[in-house]
Copies of this chain bind each other. A is one copy, B any other.
């Protein structure tokens, strides 16, 4: 399951594999979510809002999200250059589903962590 490939090689029609190959990496969902909280942001803003992402990974992530049509990129030929990123309609349609995951996580994380603590103590 390679992010640069179109589909999972073994199960090209498996939605789990395909969706994970898009947003299952370390940064994609975080970038999408950051864009939603304040649609239209510049490269530097995104970096500030995700302080521990490297330039390399932010650039790479945005490139893939743009290639997949989830993020729109608008470059202005100025000096110094200005580039603005925003969610596409498709990107926006994905966010509510992520939000649901987050709601679930918020109300279950403590519980999950407690489970794991108990498990490790056994």
Once the chains bind, are B18 and A111 in contact (CB under 8 Å)?
A: no
Give the nearest-CB partner of A8 in chain B.
B52
Once the chains bind, are A26 and B20 in contact (CB under 8 Å)?
A: yes
Residues of A at under 8 Å CB distance from B?
A: 1, 6-7, 10, 15-20, 22, 24-26, 29-30, 33, 51-52, 66-70, 90, 93-94, 97-98, 100-102, 104-106, 108-109, 111-113, 115-117, 119-120
Which residues on B sit within 8 Å (CB–CB) of A19? 101-102, 104-105, 109
Give the nearest-CB partner of A11 in chain B.
B52
Once the chains bind, are B102 and A94 in contact (CB under 8 Å)?
A: no
Once the chains bind, are A24 and B24 in contact (CB under 8 Å)?
A: yes
Within 8 Å by CB of A101, from B69, B70, B97, B111, lies B97
Which residues on B sit within 8 Å (CB–CB) of A25? 24
Interchain CA distance A108-B1 in the complex, whole Å: 18
Q: Determine how close the nearest CB of chain B comes to the CB of A120; give it in whole angstroms.
A: 7
